[in-house]
């Protein structure tokens, strides 16, 4: 392939007979962009003294560790290259399959000598960057004043952005295109919807869908689009809306992808609407959209996750019908069985899968180790863990977490801590979950100092703490009578915009009561209720107990009323002390209250 460049500004490419074999799309865009007459006149860029463009590019090459290639190519083959025009260089570098170098060069020029690239150089470079999936680099090019890519390039840019997960930027581009009256294809819209789902931005799914409706593309909206909408509903826990949408699609004689059905199944499992789950399965079969391994995986997983032993039945049914579960399904069922306390059955499956030639992997080992910990068989858990390590599965944060939290569960915090140290020695990154597990374990063992140290350590490491980093500490602090310390942590949570779980407030209230601070305890209880949080029965009991000791009979009546409204009843021992107290004070419990007591 030969390239001839003339000083006049025309930039032509002569292709050799075999060039079509090597022509990349990047190259094609170069040829289209540089048609005769299309190329602008050289810019008058003032370079810093004694600097040649070649030197600059050489310099950038050094920084970016790229090889400059012009000695052999540019200088020998293109003697007529216009060395004073940066735009030529841009195109040339780009043509050398080095759009990044080209971009660096462009940035250098514009920051050092107020160079502004011409439209066609930018176009070519932009397309090349988009082609190379370099969405951030392409985006930086858009900052050049006056540069407006062609609509088709922008549509490709959308694809590039969504592949890089930059969905928000992609949505902005849709707006830009709308302004110039360009309508992207349905497939671009669809791909963007999918990308929004992947990054968990269902809000953007709806925004984009609105854009689709506004754009007039509505007639060509297809079953794929609707599938994404259904999935968005499922992701937002509005499964029923998704289901209704499914019904509409089916009525039109269209049938969505299996994955759409699977999402609905997962959603209905989450809501424990198992009749709907089976209805979906029947629809699938009726539509000849046969449930696949992923579907059954979803069903079984969905059932087990809700501790529903039906999952095991479905699994056995499948086997009876000659279905061959894969390793994933075995792992799921083993985990489910461990969760509902059927370790024996889990063990049977472990051997069954091995017998069938399915080799347990790190997932399988992990759930089995978890299972042994759950029933308190620490010896077997360790044995299996070592077996797993022997197979090279050890070095990961998840298996360490399983071990560490398993050991903590049985009070073996020293062993857990030594594993924790081993992790860092082996260079396995400690993440938040590991810290949280240790904090919880240490708090349960009463080792508050060490637990607090770990909280600080994770903060120093720059990890973002979560609600579970604080909860056990607050609980323990309240239990040992340091409610003030607990409240400081609560304030810390608040400052970090972490919403405590309801139980945390219960600990605080009980802590306050134990300190005799019933006034604040009562205030806190009222706050809790105003936040629509349900206090625990115990919390009411502690409060009543504390009020009893202070003879706050009026307050007790208030608390009793609130307690009954939450649907709780009084324990006999409390009734007894209440009756004693009220009769001693020569007071009568109001009738209403008495009725509720009995």
Site for DNA in 445-474 (CB under 7 A): 466-468, 471-472
Stretch that binds DNA, among 4-12, 287-295, 348-356, 563-571 (CB under 7 A): 287-295
**DSSP secondary structure of 442-469:** HHHTT-HHHHHHHHHHHHHTT----HHH
CA 481 to chain centre: 38
Q: Within 13 Å, how many C-alpha atoms sit on residue 307's CB side? A: 4
Using alpha carbons, select from 362, 397, 399 the residue that is nearest to residue 382.
399
Site for DNA in 482-511 (CB under 7 A): 501, 503
Q: Cα–Cα distance between 299 and 303 in angstroms, integer?
A: 6
Environment class of 231 (CB within 10 Å of its CB; exposed 0-12, middle 13-18, buried 19+): buried
Q: Output the smallest distance, CB 134 to DNA, in A.
A: 21
Strand, helix or coil at 11?
strand
- Counting contacts by CB under 7 A, is residue 308 touching DNA? no
| Residue position matching structure tokens 């170098």 | 101
Q: Decide if 126 contacts 157 (C-beta within 8 A).
A: yes
Q: Output the smallest distance, CB 201 to DNA, in A.
A: 17
Nearer to DNA, 86 or 256 (CB): 256
Q: Output the smallest distance, CB 314 to DNA, in A.
A: 14
- Interface size with DNA, residues (CB under 7 A): 46
Q: Output the smallest distance, CB 188 to DNA, in A.
A: 20
Among 32, 64, 396, 549, binds DNA (CB under 7 A): 396
Nearer to DNA, 37 or 390 (CB): 390
- Counting contacts by CB under 7 A, is residue 364 touching DNA? yes
Stretch that binds DNA, among 10-18, 215-223, 366-374, 512-520 (CB under 7 A): 366-374
Residue 71 CB coordination number (10 Å): 9
Nearer to DNA, 479 or 596 (CB): 479
Q: How far is CA 396 from CA 335, 387, 424, 458, in A?
A: 19, 15, 11, 18
Strand, helix or coil at 4?
strand
Among 335, 505, 542, 552, binds DNA (CB under 7 A): 335
Pairing assessment for the beta strands 11-14 and 2-5 based on DSSP bridges: antiparallel
Q: Output the smallest distance, CB 271 to DNA, in A.
A: 16
Residue 584 CB coordination number (10 Å): 9
Nearer to DNA, 436 or 483 (CB): 436
- Counting contacts by CB under 7 A, is residue 367 touching DNA? yes
Could you tell me where the DSSP H helices lie in 142-273?
Answer: 151-163, 167-179, 186-198, 202-215, 223-235, 239-251, 258-270
Among 293, 340, 529, 533, binds DNA (CB under 7 A): 293
Could you tell me where the DSSP H helices lie in 361-431?
Answer: 362-374, 378-390, 397-409, 413-426
Stretch that binds DNA, among 178-186, 189-197, 275-283, 288-296 (CB under 7 A): 288-296
Q: Cα–Cα distance between 235 and 202 in angstroms, integer?
A: 7
Stretch that binds DNA, among 37-45, 55-63, 228-236, 326-334 (CB under 7 A): 326-334
- Counting contacts by CB under 7 A, is residue 397 touching DNA? yes
Stretch that binds DNA, among 144-152, 206-214, 256-264, 410-418 (CB under 7 A): 256-264
Nearer to DNA, 10 or 466 (CB): 466
Nearer to DNA, 153 or 295 (CB): 295
- Counting contacts by CB under 7 A, is residue 258 touching DNA? yes
Binding site for DNA (CB under 7 A): 258-259, 262, 292-294, 297, 301, 326-329, 331-332, 335, 361-364, 366-367, 370, 393, 396-402, 405, 431-434, 436-437, 440, 466-468, 471-472, 501, 503, 536
């Amino acid at each position: 392939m030969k390239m001839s460049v003339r000083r006049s500004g025309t930039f032509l490419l002569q292709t050799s007979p075999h060039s079509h074999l090597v022509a990349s799309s990047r190259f094609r865009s170069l040829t289209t962009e540089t048609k005769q007459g299309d190329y602008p006149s050289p810019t008058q860029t003032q370079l810093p003294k004694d600097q040649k463009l070649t030197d600059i590019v050489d310099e950038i090459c050094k920084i970016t560790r790229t090889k400059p290639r012009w000695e052999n190519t540019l200088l020998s083959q293109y003697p007529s290259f216009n060395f004073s025009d940066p735009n030529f260089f841009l195109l040339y570098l780009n043509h050398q399959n080095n759009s990044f170098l080209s971009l660096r060069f462009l940035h250098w020029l514009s920051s050092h000598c107020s160079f502004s690239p011409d439209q066609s150089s930018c176009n070519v470079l932009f397309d090349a960057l988009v082609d190379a999936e370099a969405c951030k680099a392409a985006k930086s090019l858009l900052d050049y004043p006056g540069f407006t890519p062609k609509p088709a390039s922008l549509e490709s840019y959308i694809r590039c952005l969504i592949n890089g997960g930059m969905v928000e930027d992609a949505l902005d581009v849709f707006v830009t295109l709308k302004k110039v009256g360009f309508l992207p294809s349905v497939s671009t819209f669809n791909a963007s919807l999918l990308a929004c789902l992947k990054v968990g931005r269902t809000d953007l799914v709806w925004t984009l869908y609105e854009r689709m409706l506004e754009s007039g593309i509505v007639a060509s909206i297809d079953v794929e689009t609707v599938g994404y909408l259904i999935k968005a509903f499922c992701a937002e826990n509005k499964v029923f809306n998704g289901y209704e949408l499914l019904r509409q699609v089916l009525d039109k004689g269209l049938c969505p992808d299996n994955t759409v059905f699977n999402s609905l199944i997962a959603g209905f499992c989450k809501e424990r609407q198992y009749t709907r789950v089976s209805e979906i399965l029947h629809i699938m079969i009726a539509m000849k959209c046969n449930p696949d391994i992923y579907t059954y995986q979803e069903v079984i997983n969905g059932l087990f996750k809700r501790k529903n032993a039906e999952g095991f039945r479905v699994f056995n049914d499948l086997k009876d019908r000659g279905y061959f579960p894969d390793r994933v399904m075995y792992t799921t069922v083993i985990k489910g069985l461990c969760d509902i306390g059927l370790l024996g059955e889990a063990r049977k499956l472990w051997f069954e899968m091995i017998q069938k030639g399915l080799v347990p992997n790190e997932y399988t080992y992990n759930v089995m180790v978890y299972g042994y910990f759950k029933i308190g068989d620490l010896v077997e858990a360790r044995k299996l863990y070592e077996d797993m390590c022997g197979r090279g599965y050890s070095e990961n944060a998840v298996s360490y977490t399983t071990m560490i939290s398993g050991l903590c569960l049985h009070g073996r915090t020293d062993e857990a801590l030594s594993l924790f140290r081993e992790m860092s020695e082996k260079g396995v990154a400690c993440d938040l979950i590991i810290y949280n597990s240790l904090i919880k374990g240490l708090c349960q063992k009463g080792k508050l100092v060490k637990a607090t140290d770990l909280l600080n350590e994770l903060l120093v490491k720059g990890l973002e703490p979560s609600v579970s980093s604080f909860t056990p500490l607050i609980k323990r602090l309240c239990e040992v009578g340091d409610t003030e310390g607990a409240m400081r942590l609560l304030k810390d949570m608040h400052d970090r915009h972490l919403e405590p779980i309801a139980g945390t407030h219960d600990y605080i209230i009980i802590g306050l009561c134990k300190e005799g601070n019933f006034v604040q305890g009562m205030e806190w209880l009222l706050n809790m209720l105003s936040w629509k949080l349900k206090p625990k029965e115990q919390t009411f009991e502690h409060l009543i107990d504390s009020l009893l000791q202070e003879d706050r009979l009026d307050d007790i009546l208030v608390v009793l009323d609130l307690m009954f409204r939450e649907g709780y009843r009084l324990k006999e021992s409390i009734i007894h002390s209440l009756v004693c107290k009220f009769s001693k004070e020569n007071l009568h419990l109001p009738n209403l209250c008495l009725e509720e007591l009995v």
